[in-house]
Amino acid sequence: MIWKSIFRGLITFLFLILFQMMGNAQVTFSGDATIESYLSTKKDLPFWFYSNKRGRVNAATTVSAWSHVTANYEFSPNSNIEFGVGAMAQDAGR
């Protein structure tokens, strides 16, 4: 029974501390989107078009697109947390 009271008091204390920190917090959002088209006179793209592209472009790609969005939640000048999501699509050209 006493542990329940202690636990409830601790949760209330932590909630109040978190609520105070959120009052000083700042949230910023950012993002971008990119679309690229590739043309070649041959069946496949030249090697330097698709090498070192982290899988975003392969030899048969004609169109690729990717985008991402991030949210940065700043608790104080010395602490923050950042969340993000991204997506990528390509047609592989065949």
pLDDT digits (tens, 9 = 90+) for 28-64: 889 999 888 888 888 888 887 777 766 667 788 888 8
pTM for the whole structure: 0.52
pLDDT recorded at residue 23: 57
Quick one: tokens of 77? 């000048």
Helix (H, G, I), strand (E, B) or coil at 18: helix
pLDDT recorded at residue 32: 92
pLDDT recorded at residue 18: 58
pLDDT of residue 87 exceeding 80, the answer is yes
pLDDT of residue 24 exceeding 60, the answer is no
Edge-to-edge order in the sheet of strand 79-90: 26-37, 63-76, 79-90
**In the Cβ-directed half-sphere of 72, how many Cα atoms lie within 13 Å?**
9
Question: Which residue, 94, 36, 38, is CA-closest to 65?
Answer: 36
Nearby residues of 76 by Cβ (< 8 Å), 6 or more positions away:
21, 24
What's the rounded mean pLDDT across residues 18-29? Answer: 65
pLDDT recorded at residue 53: 67
Looking at the chain, the number of H-run helices and the number of E-run strands are 2, 3
pLDDT recorded at residue 15: 64
